[in-house]
Structure 1
Amino acid sequence: MQQQTQFGNQTQGVQQMNHGGHELFDMHEVLSCTINVLDQFMISRQFVQDNELLDILDRQYNFILSQYNLTAECFTTGQKPSQETSTYMIKEMTQPIYGIQSIQPKKPIQSLADVSDAGIGGHMLGLIKAHASLLTKSAAEVTNPVVRRVLASQVQHFIEMAYEIFMYQNKNAYYQVPQLEASDMQKMLSMFVPATGTPQMPANNKAAAVH
């Protein structure tokens, strides 16, 4: 009887913590990687030359830092954070520029003197895209309902940040977007059509047998 009571108390304590074991490892990875993104942004800042890229870096850094703070809070407490998840807004939306123009071939830098805005922007974009993927994967594994929603809500904002960096890179021909020939593109666009009519779902014999 005493053993049962002790086991019951231990189980109750684990439930009150409201986190699964796998979730703990995922959240440690998420928070550690968020710190890495912030640190890399800070390290890169000293090399930025373009004021527009500097503005993007600073705004994204501040947003990511705010999301880190509330994520760390709700992970530690298992409860709703004291501040709401905020929305990241792109400062200025522009249309993508399509096509390929001649540019200087790329190669690894040979010294810190070779660090450029193109390279920093590309590095930022890679970090943000990777973190968006990590948040998505981790949100699907988290059992705590509050932490799950906090992670899931951040995914769309990291996608917005990635697109903002892409637009900067694209506008400056750092990230060029080729297109297919018009005829090939039209064929590709026409390969899928909406489903029409009512689907004829097969009967589920196992469920019918239970009744």
Structure 2
Amino acid sequence: MELPIHQNNAPSMQNIPGQMYHGGHELFEIHELLSNTISLLDQYMILRQLAKDPELVDMMNRQYQFVSDSYNITVEALKTGNKPSHPKQTYMMKQDHSTVYGIKPSNPAKAVQSVTEINDQKISTQMLQMMKSAAFLHTIAASETVNPVLRRILADNVPNYLEMAYEIFLYQNKRGYYQVPQFDRQTTETTVNRFAPVQTNLPQNQATGYNQTH
């Protein structure tokens, strides 16, 4: 026989330690996020040994350092329920924002058959996929987190992971690894102009004719 649940037996928030200020859903999401972050750091450590382009190695080093600090801050907030010992940083990339548009013939993508085939294109592609995944997981975790300190850390980190992903994209685009197709001018202009702005102020309430006493 199932025992009844009495709400008045729930522990008061004033009587539990900071590390217990978490809901079940957020702990599942945080567990997934932190495990993913460890995998990201492990992969960066492995791939760094195979990278040849000094610019790519420098980017990996900067991103590894940032993600490591972000991970430590998140773990600290998770364990204590308080503000971390030092503020979260904002990631600053080195790439400019210019994008090369257009498609040029290239070899079909395929899986490598040997470690010797892993080149800077393969490495940067893996980096980009991991950063996109990290941005997604931070967004989901932040939307499920009820602890205000932890939620703010996760939400504020979403732009940082998107920035790192964008930096990797720009690196790839500049070398022809990530090509960007475009529509013709007419199709682009037609698509852009399909949307019009809306009024930002709500109209005044008007009588609907509905008889509320009916």
Same fold, TM exceeding 0.5?
yes
| Partner residue in 2 for 1:101 | 104
1:109-163 per-position Cα deviation (integer Å, ceiling 9, x unaligned)? 1111110111110100000001101000110110100000000110000000000
Q: 1:198 to 1:157 in 2, by over 3 A?
A: closer
**Partner Cα separation in structure 1 for residue 23 and residue 140 of structure 2:** 16
* Structural mapping, 1:198-209, within 5 Å: 198-200=201-203
1:52-82 per-position Cα deviation (integer Å, ceiling 9, x unaligned)? 1111111000000000001000000011100
Deviation at 1:93, TM superposition (A): 1.4
| Partner residue in 2 for 1:153 | 156
**Partner Cα separation in structure 2 for residue 174 and residue 51 of structure 1:** 17
Pick the structure with more helix per residue.
1
| Partner residue in 2 for 1:138 | 141
Deviation at 1:186, TM superposition (A): 0.8
Match of 2:30 among 27, 31, 52: 27
Q: 1:201 to 1:139 in 2, by over 3 A?
A: farther
| Partner residue in 2 for 1:79 | 82
Deviation at 1:104, TM superposition (A): 2.1
Q: 1:204 to 1:113 in 2, by over 3 A?
A: farther
- The reply on whether 1:171 has 2:191 as its aligned counterpart is no
Assess if the C-alpha contact under 8 Å between 2:29 and 2:140 holds in 1: no
TM-score, length basis structure 2: 0.87
**What letter corresponds to residue 26 of structure 2 in structure 1?**
E
**What letter corresponds to residue 24 of structure 1 in structure 2?**
L
Match of 1:52 among 52, 55, 58: 55
Deviation at 1:7, TM superposition (A): 3.9
Deviation at 1:18, TM superposition (A): 1.1
* Structural mapping, 1:3-18, within 5 Å: 7=9, 10-12=11-13, 13-14=15-16, 16=18, 17-18=20-21
Match of 2:187 among 180, 184, 187: 184
Q: Secondary structure at the match of 1:47?
A: coil
**Partner Cα separation in structure 1 for residue 61 and residue 194 of structure 2:** 43
| Partner residue in 1 for 2:116 | 113
TM-score, length basis structure 1: 0.88
Q: Which is further off, 84-93 or 102-111?
A: 102-111
Contiguous gaps of at least 5 residues in structure 1: none
% identity of equivalent residues: 43
**Partner Cα separation in structure 2 for residue 124 and residue 197 of structure 1:** 40
